[in-house]
Structure 1
Amino acid sequence: MKWTLFAAALTAVGALAAPAQAAAETTLFVAPGGNDNNPGTQGAPLATIQKAVGLVAAGGTIAVRGGTYALSTNITIAKSGTASAPITLTAYAGEKVVIDGEALPYTPGAVGSTIPAAQRGAVHMEASYWRISGLEIIHGPYGVYCANCNNNVFERLSTHDNYETGFQLQNSSAGNQIVNLDSYNNRDPRKNGESADGLGIKEGGGDGNGFKMGGSGGTGPAAAHTVTNSVAFGNAAHGFTDNGNTGALVFSRSTAYQNTKTGFDVDGGSTSRLTGNLAVANKTAVALGSSTASGNSWNLGGTWTLAGTDPSTITGPRNADGSIRSSNFLVPANGQSVGAKL
């Protein structure tokens, strides 16, 4: 199981604009039972997200009505919005939208095979200035695969049970925000389950990590990433790893629990700064290398008992604002302000 949970604060997407009368106007609607020959109004919606992607202009919104969208080809996003007019792709009014990639190629691929770049992701994105929100993405050859993507916001996504990494961001990508992501049960049968991660921000192969933050063996770019108030638990490898990223990473108030390898693995060349993190029941709490750490559980010492360890307390539906249900999951029993507070 590859688990990644973000629990950062979320500002909800604003109200949708009035229904569009033509593709060039503000909002295009997609719905089960729609037709791609329709104008994309609320009363006459399109059938496919891909059609809406082709029609939407900078500043526009694609509003997806509830239902399951079974893909025959992956959703490819190659056009960009602008800094002043980003493009929004969102579930409409909190409705449950499921994008199912089970029928796509490489779900799964043959043992030892390589997934062609264009086939990576039920949602394959090479674009900037998008806001993508409220979607559940399952059974794809990767859930979301975003390469050379800049200044996007991804919020309230669930990427699970995919045949590679749930959410992968790579190549020359910068200025992206990933907020309130649930990524779990992603597994790659091509490599006996070894390759997939929950969240991969990286170059290089996967290993069953929760959060992978960089290039493999120093081959990727030196990139500065920040992870805060996040939880990685029950992963087959590390909870959090720099994966050879030589950039300045920041990990704060995050928790690594019951990961098979290291809770916080930052000895791959990064100059990470770790503050207020909690590592419990991992094979090793931290591999620090040249990184610095203060106020973390291993710095404070002693035995750390947790108030709650039952994941069912947090794995149900999120609150309306995108936050995870409040609980004592992985909270220190001694009340100290260390680790994530979901």
Structure 2
Amino acid sequence: MPNLDHLDVETGGQQPASALYVATDGDDTGPGTLAAPLRTIQRAVDLAQPGDTIFIRGGTYAPGTNIQLLKNGTPDRPITMTAYNRERVVIDGENMPYTPGAVGSSIPRAERGAVHIEGDHWRLVGLEIVHGPYGIFGLDATGNVFDRLITRDNYESGLHLQGASSDNLILNLDSYGNRDPRKNGESADGVAIKEGSGGGNVIRGARLWSNSDDGLDFWMFLGAVTVESSVAWGNGFNRWNLPDYTGDGNGFKLGGGDPDPAVGHVVRNSIAYDNAVDGFTDNGNPGRLVTDRSTAWRNGGTGFDYADSVSVLTRNLSVANRTQAALGSSSSSGNSWDLGGTWTFTSTDASTITGPRAADGSIPSSAFLRPSNGADLGARF
């Protein structure tokens, strides 16, 4: 997996020799140059070879079937699909089937996702995916980078990886407003890495909010995932008046299953606040989770619910939740509940952390939820 904090795809004022261009007024019979772009993203995908970059001009693309990324790049020559010069590119799945599916129905696997990826070594950069039957759905996908994406208002999870998926990097994602009317809200998460296996998957700098089920969900995923510097808030509320609503409402759901697999996911420097139920939960995962310097505030359930695991919690901060922590056999040191006392914050103003991102795509720094006594615990942005 690439060792990087963010990816930039720039033209440098010149047309790369291995570039294809797409524009809303293009022509799929053309050469796909900047002067004569293609019209559809799928045509560019079909033509792309390892090492190519697909530049998409600004505008809304609303195909009637999903975009399928089925071929592979290579570790040294990935295939990149990016917004041209950071123009706003919206891939709108509203015209696709299952938007939404009927209550109780299932979506055929190939039709999951406005962008459906079964390929390896792709880079998706700076795109907005909306109204799809899932936003992005990845199956058996390895070595991909999902950078500075927005997945919002989809009819299932915003970004979902399943099957044998490893060494994927999800970087600076905003995923919100996703819901699933066909399941009464019980399945649509901001990020879901579920029902599969694979090591080396990393989520960094994600903001996950107002999704019908959970901000993040690792249900039945057998490989350890690392989560860093991410925020989940406002998940699990019925904002769409769905009947018989069943959304769970956790910020970070770190496992679970039937039976529950033991998996050692890692969470560092992350915040869960104002979620309907728990901030951070093992969800029955009996493994050794590691959670360090994270903050749970004002969640409707438990701030840190690790009652079913043998986890390690250090330097975490839990304030104004219904219950601050439930530990079971987990170990705990240097956390707010270990230190005792009353905890207040320098700032409870979330506007900076939830507002526009920095130019490099990162979450801007602020004093949000930092302890007013200056103690070295909880998340820092």
Instruction: Give the TM-score normalised by structure 1.
Output: 0.89
Bigger Cα displacement from structure 2, 57-66 vs 268-277: 268-277
User: 1:294 Cα deviation (Å)?
Assistant: 1.4
* Contact 2:277–2:302 (Cα < 8 Å) also in 1: yes
Is residue 322 from structure 1 mapped to residue 342 from structure 2 by the alignment?
no
Bigger Cα displacement from structure 2, 74-83 vs 330-339: 330-339
**Could you say if the C-alpha distance between residues 240 and 197 of structure 1 is closer, same or farther in structure 2, counting changes exceeding 3 Å?**
same
- Structure 1 residue aligned with 2:186: 194
User: 1:312 Cα deviation (Å)?
Assistant: 4.3
User: 1:193 Cα deviation (Å)?
Assistant: 1.9
SS of 1:118's equivalent in the other structure is helix
**Could you say if the C-alpha distance between residues 79 and 194 of structure 1 is closer, same or farther in structure 2, counting changes exceeding 3 Å?**
same
User: 1:336 Cα deviation (Å)?
Assistant: 3.8
**Could you say if the C-alpha distance between residues 74 and 333 of structure 1 is closer, same or farther in structure 2, counting changes exceeding 3 Å?**
farther
Paired residue type of 1:300 = S
SS of 1:107's equivalent in the other structure is coil
Paired residue type of 2:336 = L
* Contact 2:224–2:264 (Cα < 8 Å) also in 1: yes
**Could you say if the C-alpha distance between residues 118 and 274 of structure 1 is closer, same or farther in structure 2, counting changes exceeding 3 Å?**
same
User: 1:33 Cα deviation (Å)?
Assistant: 0.2
- Structure 1 residue aligned with 2:213: 208
Bigger Cα displacement from structure 2, 322-331 vs 105-114: 322-331
User: 1:246 Cα deviation (Å)?
Assistant: 2.1
User: 1:242 Cα deviation (Å)?
Assistant: 1.8
- Structure 1 residue aligned with 2:297: 280
**Could you say if the C-alpha distance between residues 58 and 269 of structure 1 is closer, same or farther in structure 2, counting changes exceeding 3 Å?**
same
Whole-angstrom CA distance in 1 between matches of 2:76 and 2:227: 26
Whole-angstrom CA distance in 2 between matches of 1:306 and 1:83: 44
Is residue 134 from structure 1 mapped to residue 126 from structure 2 by the alignment?
yes
- Structure 1 residue aligned with 2:314: 294
* Contact 1:183–1:199 (Cα < 8 Å) also in 2: yes
- Structure 2 residue aligned with 1:229: 229
Paired residue type of 2:252 = F
User: 1:197 Cα deviation (Å)?
Assistant: 0.6
**Could you say if the C-alpha distance between residues 67 and 331 of structure 1 is closer, same or farther in structure 2, counting changes exceeding 3 Å?**
farther
Higher normalized contact order (CA 8 Å, seq sep 6+, divided by chain length): 1
* Contact 2:212–2:235 (Cα < 8 Å) also in 1: no
**Could you say if the C-alpha distance between residues 310 and 104 of structure 1 is closer, same or farther in structure 2, counting changes exceeding 3 Å?**
farther
Whole-angstrom CA distance in 1 between matches of 2:212 and 2:286: 18
Paired residue type of 1:19 = Q
**Could you say if the C-alpha distance between residues 281 and 330 of structure 1 is closer, same or farther in structure 2, counting changes exceeding 3 Å?**
same
- Structure 2 residue aligned with 1:3: none
**Could you say if the C-alpha distance between residues 163 and 254 of structure 1 is closer, same or farther in structure 2, counting changes exceeding 3 Å?**
same
**Could you say if the C-alpha distance between residues 295 and 88 of structure 1 is closer, same or farther in structure 2, counting changes exceeding 3 Å?**
same
Bigger Cα displacement from structure 2, 90-99 vs 325-334: 325-334
Instruction: Give the TM-score normalised by structure 2.
Output: 0.80
RMSD (CA atoms): 2.1
| Equivalenced residues, count | 325
Is residue 13 from structure 1 mapped to residue 18 from structure 2 by the alignment?
no
**Could you say if the C-alpha distance between residues 247 and 82 of structure 1 is closer, same or farther in structure 2, counting changes exceeding 3 Å?**
same
User: 1:311 Cα deviation (Å)?
Assistant: 4.6
**Could you say if the C-alpha distance between residues 331 and 133 of structure 1 is closer, same or farther in structure 2, counting changes exceeding 3 Å?**
farther
Paired residue type of 2:344 = T
Alignment gaps of 5+ in structure 1: 1-8
Paired residue type of 1:251 = V
Q: 1:36 aligns with which of 7, 28, 32?
A: 28
Q: 1:106 aligns with which of 89, 98, 103?
A: 98
User: 1:327 Cα deviation (Å)?
Assistant: 3.4
**Could you say if the C-alpha distance between residues 309 and 183 of structure 1 is closer, same or farther in structure 2, counting changes exceeding 3 Å?**
farther
